[in-house]
């Protein structure tokens, strides 16, 4: 079996595959919607008009109204601004330490590996929900705390994935040859390890951003989390759920936004496949 395992060298291929172009375009469109809308559309995400509750889209209000008669367009763009920033924050705060520790643990092995793995497992074994709920209860009323609490749970995913892949790679003839040739760890990570873990990490990261938003939605489902009337995608889904029959268009908007976000990230990540 070991003889079979000569890992393929990564073929340098053009960065701009069709899939990736679509992905980047989609992401750019979402970002543009989030940041350009406030300049084009004059509406407040918190101003209510109880006479327009769950109103259908009109020319003046292209996305309709929510359950308190607030402009869905203004709320969607504000929510995307908040959620995009914070979702990326939580992915970065989870991925960077996760990957670094994963490579370190796999590379050094022995006690380093055991120690880091023990910490990671202890974190993972603590119910994530408990951690997040308690963290939020202590640091009240701060949306960022929510996402940082979530990345406390999510980093382990990157750690475990990186560690398991790197562990096999470190033993591979290609890496061992590089080591014999005197290349330093940084070179080996860049040349042999990163190309292998990158597609998986990007995929997991894309889902991680969605997980963070989904976790917030789940938390607001049990009445914890972002304080209303702050527009946030996960919170909006929970708030609009009771009106699924009357105003499916309103409930679907944050769902579609998250869907497009995940799809674009996946398209960007997915085409990195050799």
Partner 1 sequence: MSNHFIPPVVRTVILPRLAQAVMVALLVGVLTFILVRSLPGDMAYRIAAGRYGYDMVDTAAADAVRRELGLEQPALTALGSWLWDILRLDFGNSLISGAPVIKEIVHQFGATVELSLAAVLLSLLIGPPLGVLAGLRPGGWLDRVLLVVSSGLRSLPAFVLGLLLIILLAREFGWFPAAGHGSASNLALPALTLALGLAAVSARVARDAMLGVAQSPYYAFGRTKGLSERQVFARHGMRNVAVPIVTYLGVQFVYLIEGVVVVESLFAWPGIGHALVHAIFARDVPMIQGTALVMGLMFVVLNTGVDLACRWLDPRVARA
Partner 2 sequence: MFGKAASILSVSVGALVIALGVSGPVRAASGAEVFNVVAPFEVKSMEPSTSGDVFLRTGVAETLVDVDENGKPLPALAERWEVSDDGKVWRFFVLPGVVFHDGSNLTAESITHALNVALARSGGLLAKAPIESIAPEGETVVVTLKQPFAPLLAFLAHNTTQILAPASYAADDTVVKVIGTGPFSLGAFEPPLKFSVERFDGYWGEKPAIAKANYLAAGRGETRALLAESGDADYVLNLDPASRVRLEKGDKVDVLSIAIPRTVLLKVNAGHPALKDVATRQALSAAIDREGIATAILRLPDAGATQLFPPSVGTWHNKSIAPLAYDIDKAKALLAEAGWTPGNDGVLERDGTRFAVTLTTYPDRPELPLIAAALQEQLREVGIAATINSTNSSEIPAKHQDGTLELGLVARNFALVPDPIGTILQDYPPQGGDWGALNWSNAEFNAAIDALSRTADASEGQVLRDKAVSILQAELPVIPVAWYQQTAAVSKKVEGARLDPFERSFGLAKVRKAP
Residues of the shown chain interacting with partner 1 in the complex, contacts defined by CB under 8 A: 1-2, 4-8, 109, 114, 118, 121-122, 124-130, 133-134, 137-138, 140, 153, 156-157, 160-161, 164-165, 167-168, 171, 196, 199-200, 203-204, 207, 210-211, 214-215, 217-218, 221-222, 234, 237-238, 241, 244, 251, 255-256, 258-259, 261-263, 266-267, 270, 273-274
Which residues, including other chains, have CB under 8 Å from residue 14's CB and lie 6 or more apart?
none
SS3 breakdown of the chain: % helix, strand, coil, rounded to 5?
A: 75, 0, 25
In the complex with partner 1, which residue's Cβ is closer, 23 or 64?
23
Residues 40-69 that bind partner 2 (CB under 8 A): 46-48, 50-51, 53, 67-69
Could you tell me the smallest distance in angstroms from the CB atom of residue 170 to partner 2? 33
In the complex with partner 1, which residue's Cβ is closer, 92 or 241?
241
User: 63 by DSSP, 3-state: which?
Assistant: coil
Burial of 106 per CB tally in 10 Å (0-12, 13-18, 19+): buried
Q: What is the DSSP track for 199-264?
A: HHHHHHHHHHHHHHHHHHHHHHHTT-SSPTTS--HHHHHHHHGGGTTT-HHHHHHHHHHHHHHHHH
Return the one option of partner 1, partner 2, none that residue 217 interacts with (CB less than 5 to 8 A, by type). Answer: partner 1
In the complex with partner 1, which residue's Cβ is closer, 60 or 125?
125
Return the one option of partner 1, partner 2, none that residue 86 interacts with (CB less than 5 to 8 A, by type). Answer: none
Give the pair of three-digit tokens for residue 256: 């579609």
Q: What is the DSSP letter of 74?
A: H
Return the one option of partner 1, partner 2, none that residue 6 interacts with (CB less than 5 to 8 A, by type). Answer: partner 1
In the complex with partner 1, which residue's Cβ is closer, 34 or 165?
165
Return the one option of partner 1, partner 2, none that residue 25 interacts with (CB less than 5 to 8 A, by type). Answer: none
Site for partner 2 contains 124 (CB under 8 A): no
Return the one option of partner 1, partner 2, none that residue 187 interacts with (CB less than 5 to 8 A, by type). Answer: none
Q: Give just the sign of the alpha carbon dihedral 216, 222, 223, 224.
A: negative
Helix intervals (H) in 41-127 = 72-108, 110-125
From 127, 130, 246, 273, residue interacting with partner 2 (rule: CB under 8 A):
246
Which residue has 């894309």 as its token pair?
A: 206
Site for partner 2 contains 121 (CB under 8 A): no
Site for partner 2 contains 145 (CB under 8 A): no
Q: Are 116 and 175 in contact (CB under 8 A)?
A: no
CA-wise closest residue to 210 among 155, 265, 153, 160: 265
Footprint of partner 2 on this chain (CB under 8 A)?
Answer: 46-48, 50-51, 53, 67-69, 223, 227-229, 241-246
């Amino acid at each position: 079996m070991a003889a079979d395992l000569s890992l393929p060298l990564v073929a340098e291929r053009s960065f701009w595959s069709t899939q990736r172009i679509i992905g980047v375009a989609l992401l750019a469109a979402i970002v543009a919607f989030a940041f350009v809308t406030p300049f084009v559309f004059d509406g407040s995400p918190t101003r209510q008009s109880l006479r327009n509750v769950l109103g259908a889209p009109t020319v003046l209000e292209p996305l309709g109204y929510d359950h308190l008669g607030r402009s869905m367009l203004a709320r969607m763009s504000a929510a995307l601004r908040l959620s995009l920033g914070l979702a990326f924050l939580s992915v970065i705060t989870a991925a960077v330490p996760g990957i670094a520790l994963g490579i370190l643990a796999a590379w050094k092995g022995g006690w380093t590996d055991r120690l880091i793995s023990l910490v990671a497992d202890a974190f993972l074994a603590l119910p994530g929900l408990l951690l997040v709920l308690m963290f939020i209860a202590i640091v009240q009323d701060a949306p960022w705390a929510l996402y940082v609490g979530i990345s406390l749970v999510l980093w382990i995913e990157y750690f475990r994935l990186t560690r398991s892949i790197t562990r096999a790679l470190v033993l591979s003839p290609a890496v061992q040859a590089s080591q014999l040739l005197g290349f330093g760890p940084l070179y080996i990570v860049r040349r042999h390890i990163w190309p292998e873990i990158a597609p998986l990490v990007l995929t997991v990261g894309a889902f991680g951003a969605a997980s963070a938003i989904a976790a917030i939605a789940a938390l607001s489902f049990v009445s914890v989390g972002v304080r209303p009337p702050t527009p946030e995608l996960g919170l909006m889904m929970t708030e609009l759920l009771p009106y699924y029959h009357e105003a499916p268009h309103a409930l679907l908007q944050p769902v579609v936004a998250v869907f497009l976000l995940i799809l674009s990230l996946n398209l960007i990540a997915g085409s990195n496949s050799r």
